[in-house]
Amino acid sequence: MARTKKAAAEAAPSTMKELKDTLWRAADKLRGSMDASQYKDVILGLVFLKYVSDAFAERRDQLAAELAEDGMSEDQIAMLIDDVDEYTGRGVFWVPENARWNYLAENAKGLPAIDGAAPKNIGELIDASMDAIMGANATLAGTLPRIFNRDSVDQRRLGELIDLFNTARFTGQGSGRARDLLGEVYEYFLEKFARAEGKRGGEFYTPAGVVRVLVEVLEPTSGRVYDPACGSGGMFVQTEKFLDAHNADRTAISVYGQELNERTWRMAKMNLAIHGLNANLAPRWGDTFARDQHPDMQADYIMANPPFNIKDWARNESDPRWRFGVPPANNANYAWIQHIISKLAPGGTAGVVMANGSMSSNSGGEGDIRAQLVEADLVSCMVALPTQLFRSTGIPVCTWFFAKDKTTGSQGATDRTGQVLFIDARNLGHMIDRAERALSDEDIAKIADTFHAWRGTSSAESKEYADKAGFCYSATLMEIRDADYALTPGRYVGTPEVEDDGEPIEEKIARLKKELFEQFEESERLTGIARKQLGRVS
């Protein structure tokens, strides 16, 4: 017998991890005959629908309480509670009555035929909800998925998933409002989908640890934040989390992004809406090289993980963005780098994830472009990251950091003109399974603290920078010229110092030789025993 909603609610998971895992297992039942991308759109669309409805209900309850405090009667409250401006003015989407979650939950098994009207399954009701919400909120026009009434979607299981979302406890999880928790669920699902889709998952998802390296080094607190290949919006979400962690005003930043893939662009729009970020991702998706949708925007912070080593891209040799040289036709790495530099405002800083080859390649004129970037004193810091951070690719990666101004001032108290910091972080991180490595909070802090001490930022407090063999080194432009403009950190940081254990080297050699000969003798003894035993076998 099916459980009642009350029983299901009582059995709901009590921790955030249990909640996420429960929802993922339930969602996984829907997979059926759907391809991975459609399945992803269905689930993320439901999470978004739950979010906008919860946010609307929260504001509705708050508004009712405010009106009651003003001494208004129930009839007066009923007249004023549906004032659209009272919602949209607070950053809350207006949700029409037949699009609200409680309406869908009440009709999770569909609507029967009434008064001659045809019956409707839950998929039809959800598609209609998406239409209604987009129609009521211009910023969501053309964003939400309308794929719930397709033959490939199991309507019974879709209804069951609606029931589960309805009964799962998004409150009382110990970390804030239900809307915030739904944002966590959305991010969790994005990560799970990226892992499930393998290489293609890398098109829309950058591991949170990698994003945090960029955010913690750049420390975006105010101004314009830009990502020219924004995927599902992870750079912006981590920026919002950084602001919250430092009790900073999230409205102090303005978010700009562009994304080539239509489905990914839609995901980003939903993701940022769930996190309360009013982002300008342009009216539609588009190719950053073919058509920059923010042509006049100059950014204070740029964070990006553009696709690596693109061989087929919209190359125009006369493009004014190629100030330091025309990128080769068969690799867009230096096209991304130069586009990003072209978008930096005076005093702006940028962090970019790139394939390791970008640090030393000389093919197609890339070495000359890199030399020009170094001579223009735009490169601030180079970080070599550990392998296997990306499940989607085995290509080793690094992060480039750029700064328009390395003198003392708002970016730091130490003048680093004519210098570049090299950090070799390849030995950091830990394996979370056979295929993937992750950076811990301590790993990320080690990288960021080293940079801030070098730059003399306020977050470095009293820490003083010092080169550390095998990990970090501050190189001059002359040293980089002598290395033929290769920017691989391993060339500069050297090898870690070997700890002196106090044993004189002659004594250590003698001891090790003695131990080795003893092991040889023991091996010969065991071999003799084994031969005797084998000789007894008839």
Determine contact, residues 159/122, Cβ cutoff 8 Å: yes
What pLDDT score was predicted for residue 225? 97
Rounded Cα distance between 528 and 521, Å, is 11
Task: Tell me how many domains the chain contains.
Answer: 3
Distances (CA, A) of 305 to 229, 354, 414: 7, 7, 28
Domain-located, residue 192:
no
- What span, in angstroms and rounded, lies between the C-alpha atoms of 259 and 233? 9
What pLDDT does residue 338 have? Answer: 98
Provide the 10 A C-beta neighbour count for residue 253: 23
Helix H, strand E, coil C: the string for 406-444 is CCCECCECCCCCCEEEEEECCCCCEECCCCCEECCHHHH
299-304 and 253-257: which strand pairing?
A: unpaired
pLDDT score, position 223: 95
DSSP codes of every residue in 351-377: EEEEEGGGGT--GGGHHHHHHHHHHTT
Which segments of 258-363 are extended strands (E)?
279-280, 299-304, 344-355
- 107 with 235, same domain: the answer is no
Distance CA 289, CA 292 (A): 6
Strand partners, 438: 430
Q: Does residue 190 lie within any of the structural domains?
A: no
Over its C-alpha atoms, the chain yields an Rg (Å, rounded) of 29
Burial label for 29, CB within 10 Å (0-12, 13-18, 19+), is: middle
pLDDT at 7: 40
| Residue 233 Ramachandran class (φ > 0 left, ψ -120 to 50 alpha, else beta) | left
**Are 433 and 533 in the same domain?**
no
Domain membership of residue 260 (yes or no) is yes
Residue 346 lies in a domain: yes
Residues 141 and 281 in one domain: no
Q: Are residues 289 and 146 in the same domain?
A: no
Is residue 351 within 8 Å of 214, Cβ to Cβ? Answer: yes
Instruction: Give domain status of residue 232, yes or no.
Output: yes
Write down the pLDDT at residue 201: 54
Q: Is 191 among the domain residues?
A: no
The reply to whether 169 and 286 lie within a common domain is no
State the virtual CA torsion across 320, 322, 324, 330 in degrees, nearest 10.
Answer: -160
**Domain co-membership, 435 together with 518:** no
Domain identity same for 484 and 516 = no
Measure CA of the first residue to CA of the last residue in the chain; give whole Å. 67
Q: Is residue 186 part of a domain?
A: no
The CA-atom distances, in angstroms, between 66 and each of 44, 63, 179, 188, 248 are 33, 5, 20, 35, 27
Its pTM stands at 0.83
Residues 228 and 328 in one domain: yes
Same domain assignment for residues 311 and 435: yes
Domain with 85 in it: what CATH number?
A: 1.20.1260.30
Whether the Cβ atoms of residue 144 and residue 130 lie closer than 8 Å to each other: yes
DSSP state letter for 121: -
307 within some domain: yes
| CB 391, CB 436: distance < 8 Å | yes
- 167 and 242, same domain (yes or no): no
pLDDT in tens, the chain (538 residues): 344 444 444 444 457 777 788 778 777 777 776 776 678 888 888 888 988 898 898 889 999 999 999 888 888 888 889 999 999 888 889 999 999 999 999 999 988 877 667 788 999 999 999 999 999 998 888 889 999 998 888 898 899 889 888 876 664 444 446 567 778 888 888 888 877 766 555 566 788 899 999 999 999 999 999 999 999 899 999 999 999 899 888 889 999 999 999 988 998 998 898 888 888 999 999 999 999 999 999 999 999 999 989 999 999 999 999 999 999 999 999 999 999 999 999 999 999 999 999 999 999 999 999 999 999 999 999 999 999 888 777 788 999 999 999 999 878 889 999 999 999 999 999 998 888 899 999 999 999 999 999 999 988 776 899 999 999 999 999 999 999 999 999 999 998 766 666 677 787 788 888 888 888 888 888 888 888 887 777 5
SS (H, E, C) 459-483: HHCCCCCCCECCCEEEEEHHHHHHC
Query: What domain range is 537 assigned to?
Result: 506-538
Q: What is the DSSP string of 485-511?
A: T---THHHH--PPPP--S--HHHHHHH
User: Are 447 and 396 in a shared domain?
Assistant: yes
Last residue of a domain, one of 158, 175, 192: 175
CATH number, residue 432: 3.40.50.150
Residues 315 and 210 in one domain: yes
Q: What is the dihedral of CA 300, 306, 309, 313, to 10 degrees?
A: -90
